[in-house]
Chains A and B, each alone.
Chain A
């Protein structure tokens, strides 16, 4: 930007380079102090952060001058000026966010939001999930809603940041309902039950699902395993508890319990997605992450449908599909090209 404003930009450019040099010097010093220690000291981090903030406070006045020079640069075209101004505004916003976070951390105050880990993409968040003794991963947390019998994924939800798992359920259920309404032929379809892990154990969520006629017997309330085969009394209790006596049948409760009991199968679905590139998002931004993960989900779904057609399913999945009256692939059917 200072190069573009050639008339008065040389001094500003020198100042910006000097500031950059000073900041790099502080970071180099920090690196030297940490070298060979095998440890990162919080005090040292905070001291360095304070120094960086002190030296870095010159960024704002420099940016203000740069903006003034940009407005008065006659050699720039309007579109170019607008583009540079947008870039400067985005950089200043990022600086403001990081500065606020750093000031709170150096003062020992907790953050009001999750930690910013990438200046250029505030939608990325630390994800502490599934690992006990590893550094936090920085990225995204997609949520899926799938059929436990075969592993077919009906919908994907990828929010910004790292919200609680319970907040995923309603958007995912809405997306499945939308897919159901698109189906024109065959019997009327509906969601009967939903299974999940302890993170979904939320009273408000249970009530919201019951209102939609969805059983929540598959969402555990304690760490104890669910009953695979409930007794007659348990079934009545489940139906009465959800106020779904007229909507759901005991047979559906039995199936819901079986699906909830076999919830760990979801790990194999996730493993299949991860090996299709969903573990590492390479596309840029939140939109890119949605595109990549959705493509991985679609590729996984196609592979799942091939498995269903070839009947390459586990015994439990085959049994569940029989109970759900789902079609079995006819082995002798002639497979004509669909292209």
Chain B
């Protein structure tokens, strides 16, 4: 329950304790996916980097949400293709997501709506930078190489385009749409 103490105070409910691992089978895709990450090394790297760049002026106040939970939520957001709100909401309702976030056991509290607020996730993201992300990727690659699962001997390089935000209407886009519309309307 050490992890729970780092979470928001309202996480510690009064109901009976549930062992999360008992409810998530070993073959569950999210459980298998989560078990591949070298969590300890990743969390240590983030905490070291954040402590260097944003030193805490004081120890007063409520402890922040655990880095382990926030990192897992951020990764799950990509894996499950959901929004901040959806991933935080699933942390409240989905035991597999709780397992992925490293929550071993929970005490049920019906009155609580969220475990982690989406704003906290956005704040966590704002503290990640290029160098740290590079280090996290290197840690994951290192763990996979040490486990003998992958080899860097023969590699392939490629690039891919990714759009930024909402695409504004441009001359080219207008022309493309007009051409497409006219060709579509000319069909019998």
Contact = CB atoms under 8 A, between A and B. Distances in A.
Interface of A: 34, 37-40, 45, 117-118, 121, 124, 127, 129-130, 134-150, 152-156, 165, 168-169, 172, 175-176, 178-180, 182-186, 189-197, 199-200, 218, 252, 255-256, 259, 263, 265-266, 269-270, 273-284, 287-299, 301-303, 305-306, 308-310, 320, 324, 326-327, 335, 337-339
A52 to B, nearest CB: 14
B157 A144 contact: yes
A134 to B, nearest CB: 6
B75 interface: yes
A269 B76 CA distance: 18
B112 to A, nearest CB: 22
B161 A129 contact: yes
6 contacts: A148-B156, A278-B162, A288-B125, A302-B33, A338-B35, A339-B102
Which of A145, A150, A292, A298 has the most CB atoms of chain B within a 10 A radius of its CB?
A298
A224 to B, nearest CB: 18
A290 B132 CA distance: 10
Interface residues of B, number: 68
Contacts, number: 279
Contacts of B23: none
Interface string B18-29: 000100001001
B149 A193 contact: no
A138 B163 contact: yes
A259 B138 contact: no
Contact of B151 (A147, A175, A298): A147
Contact of A155 (B81, B141, B167): B141
Contacts of A197: 158
The 3 closest A-B pairs by CB, nearest first: A135-B172, A294-B133, A327-B148
Interface of B: 21, 26, 29, 32-37, 39, 74-79, 81, 99, 102, 104, 125, 128-130, 133-134, 136-142, 144-165, 167-168, 170-176, 178-179, 181-182
A263 to B, nearest CB: 6
Which of B128, B136, B149 has the most CB atoms of chain A within a 10 A radius of its CB?
B149
A150 B150 contact: yes
B161 A144 contact: no
Nearest to A121: B164
A40 B174 contact: yes
A66 B176 CA distance: 41
Nearest to B24: A337
Given A290-B133, A338-B35, A308 B154 contact: no
B133 A142 contact: no
Given A295-B74, A296-B78, A301 B140 contact: yes
